[in-house]
Chains A and B, each alone.
Chain A
Amino acid sequence: MELLDNLALGFSTALLIQNVLYCFVGVLLGTAVGVLPGIGPTATVAMLLPITFNFEPVTALIMLAGIYYGAQYGGSTTAILINLPGESSAAVTALDGHEMARQGRAGPALATAAIGSFIAGTIATVALAIAAPPLARVALQFGPPEYFSLVLLGLIVSIALARGSAIKALAMIFLGVLLGTVGQDIYTGTPRFVFGQRELYGGIDFVSVAVGMFGVAEILRNLENEQTRTAVVSKVKNLWPTREDRRRIVGPILRGTGLGAALGVLPGGGHVLASFTSYAVEKRISKRQQEFGRGAIEGVAGPESANNAAAQTSFIPLLTLGLPAHPVMALMVGAFIVHGITPGPNVITDEPELFWGLIASMWIGNVLLVLLNLPLIGMWVRMLRIPYQVLFPMIILFASIGTYSLGFNAFDVYAIVLFGLLGYILIKCGCEPAPLLLGFVLGPLLEENLRRAMIIQRGDASVFLTRPISAVLLALALAALVVAVLPAIRKRREMVFTEDE
């Protein structure tokens, strides 16, 4: 009953007119910045933080949180429509989402993303309300060895992201990991692969890689011949998911939500793993494996749900322990402080209105997002009818502006050209960019946690096997590797066919 009282308190706070209004402003802005690659939620929250200084604390946090999960929502739109993902989770959505768009099924893809996100958001909000404090305690059991094993498992399951050869996918993962090592080593401060360029000290920016490898490379490929080019503007079949679609997305949405909610709790990068772990799972258990990568609606439903559930539960460490799991959360810690609330375990007892109000507002935000996004689908789909002579330069323009706005660094814009060309060459070689991108995102996490675990243990590697959670994850990783690679080697001849299309 205490839960009901708490939720009642939460909703009575979140439903105050100014809170609903700023929740809407937050999710609207979030959707807007999510749609554009580059100006991500972190930059937006940073810019708007000073404005919220004059708000009530709960109102300020409701709006800032809205920007964050709104952006997760909006991020899928450009990924589906024009293969331009702004962050790693959207890159997974682009795999099948953009294929669906090319087949004239952008509407169902967008609708699935919105519906999946809503269901995931709702369930994750309930999870937050019921079990936030104990979940946060469990998450603290994850130290460097556990994160290392988790990320390793994640890297191996990401082989499933490729529709072609598992060996090539593995090669792409390694290439991504290598690209991820560029920049200053955090342990020794040694600059690696920077070639004297200060701009590279902080590493290559993810958005540059994603926009180049997906967006620009896609355009280059489309310019090749008339036939593939027209594919982008092919006939729009239907706007809404068919009955068959609806039947197919239920399972992926629920499984994605569970996975995402669980991974999102882990402050050391669990939310990064959510969407593609879900993709890998769906592909593995699907009876239609061959459809994945060619417009399988499950490949949109699962990852999108997982991503949104994770976005929601990643607030757990912040709200219950005051520990930020993401740069946006770190900004919210700043917002707490400015409003005179010391982030930490006491927030839940000292400021129950704020804690429960914020949780309730997340559900309201999810409702607002669905109301906002579903009617927009028709408009987005119409965008695909723009002739390519206009659409392609526009994509390049937006990609450049977005990338430049990241750090006002021309270097990042040059990088999209480079990665566009690299992406094109790789596609021509039958290598897919998605595993590379995930290697790029997870590589630094893998290295950081491996080295940290070794430092803490003074070089004793047995810790990975003696800590139970880590040992279990490593065993799963080994199993996943065997499952992924063995049939690939056996069926090599078949693969040769599926690679070039």
Chain B
Amino acid sequence: MRTSSRYRATARMIATIGVVSLIAACSGNGGGGNADAGGGGYPDDNITIVVPFSAGGPTDTVTRMIAEPMAAKLGGKIVVQNVEGAGGTVGAGEVARAEPDGYTVLMHHIGMSTAPALYKDLGYQPLESFETVGLVTEVPMTVVARKDFAPATLKDLVAHVKANAGKVTLANAGIGAASHLCGLLFQTAAGVKLQEVPYEGTGPALTDLVGGQVDFMCDQTTNTSGQISAGEVKAYAVTTPERVKSLPDLPTTAEAGLPGLEVSVWHGLYVPKGTPQDVVQKLSEALKAALADQKVIDQMAKLGTAPVPAESATPQAHRTKLEEQLGTWGKVIADAGVKAS
């Protein structure tokens, strides 16, 4: 368990080499990139991006989208590795302890800024243990309800939950999940305390929402937009300052009368503290290039999100965002009295 991510990645490669080589052979263009892109300098080995969440989840999907164009820009190969557990803190802790050589990179979301308030004995500190590389995307969230839930607009919803605080149920995908944070912020903004119903992940939570077992929840467009456009759930608002392209009719929370509910699931790349500045810079440049890639823009649009502007994909902008968010969530979580461990 002390092995670094790079060695683990190597172990994965060995354990499954047959599987992968078979597929690479079959898919023609599969294997792709060339690990030895000639000459010295960074990178001369595979870069591992650790995703501290399960494969196939929104964070994982975003990572895999940018991994290929980033690798192309860097002239190396990028391996995406999922190290799940304890709200992303297991994976983050592992990267914090990894060699600061730029070969172990962390993709983390808003959870980076909430973990210090949620977990004691974290084993790392967001600002001290990592170098920020750049922001990647800010995924909007939506307030959605079971389709036969009475309130028609966000204003109605707020009035309804205030009047029926003892009856309404608010689902989330587990402690520290984006849906949990958004739910906390909703309660703060609406000035009400509701019965929360945690699930193990978004899938089961959404299943029960579609099935009418719980009343409402707040989740990323990535998960909800399909159900919204099919009319399986009722949507009230999107939690960003601007409307999203995939759901043009959905008002923002500010437009719908609850400006205090502004939240996005922002994603960023990190490397361990002490990584050489020129390596951080190279990674940041590669990130910028990936975010400008038309294919990435298209793929993200389908998720109901977009790459951040180039000026946000920098270490400085990322650090500013992280500092601001640590402050915001530290307060919201402390006020709500939530603790994960």
Contacts and interface: CB of A to CB of B under 8 A. Distances in A.
Contacts of B16: 39, 43-44, 47, 405
B54 A327 contact: yes
Nearest to A140: B211
Contacts of B68: 50, 53
Interface string A11-55: 000000000011001000100110000010011111111110111
Contacts of B90: 198, 201-202
Most buried by A among B27, B118, B176: B27
B341 A25 contact: no
B339 interface: yes
A190 B206 CA distance: 24
B230 A346 contact: yes
Contacts of B20: 47-48
A184 B210 contact: no
A198 B85 contact: yes
Contacts of B8: 408
A interface bracket (residues with beta carbon within 8 Å of B): 35 or more
B256 interface: no
Contacts of B65: 338
Nearest to B81: A408
Contacts of B213: 143-144, 456
Given A189-B341, A410-B1, A337 B211 contact: no
A456 B23 contact: no
B320 interface: no
B11 interface: yes
B75 interface: no
Contacts of B302: 337, 340, 342
B36 interface: no
Interface string B69-103: 00000000000101111100010010000000000
A143 B207 CA distance: 9
Contacts of A144: 208, 213
A220 interface: no
Contacts of A380: none
A323 interface: yes
A331 B56 contact: yes
B294 interface: no
A42 B56 CA distance: 10
Interface in B124-153: none
B327 interface: no
Contact of B55 (A184, A198, A331): A331
B328 interface: no
B279 interface: no
Nearest to A143: B213
Most buried by B among A33, A199, A409, A452: A452
Interface in A177-197: 184, 186-191
Interface in B5-46: 8, 11-12, 15-16, 18-20, 22-24, 26-27, 29-30
A11 B226 CA distance: 26
Interface string A212-230: 0000000000000000000
A459 B67 CA distance: 47
Interface string A321-349: 11111010111111101101011111000
A254 B212 CA distance: 34
B12 A189 contact: no
Most buried by A among B3, B174, B210: B210
Given A198-B86, A338-B299, A404-B15, A456 B207 contact: no
Interface in B275-312: 298-299, 302-303
A401 interface: yes
B197 A42 contact: no
A46 B55 contact: yes
Given A50-B68, A405-B16, A410-B1, A186 B195 contact: no
A344 B19 contact: no
A448 B56 contact: no
A407 B86 CA distance: 14
B1 A409 contact: yes
A429 B30 CA distance: 53
Given A51-B23, A189-B175, A267-B204, 14 more contacts: A22-B26, A25-B22, A47-B20, A186-B199, A189-B339, A202-B90, A267-B203, A322-B226, A323-B203, A330-B201, A331-B56, A405-B11, A408-B3, A410-B3
21 contacts: A22-B26, A25-B23, A46-B60, A47-B12, A47-B16, A49-B56, A49-B64, A140-B212, A187-B198, A189-B118, A189-B340, A198-B90, A201-B90, A322-B226, A330-B201, A344-B232, A346-B230, A401-B15, A405-B16, A456-B195, A458-B166
Interface of B: 1, 3, 8, 11-12, 15-16, 18-20, 22-24, 26-27, 29-30, 54-57, 60-61, 64-65, 67-68, 80, 82-86, 90, 93, 118, 166, 169, 174-176, 195, 197-201, 203-204, 206-208, 210-214, 222, 225-227, 229-230, 232, 298-299, 302-303, 338-341
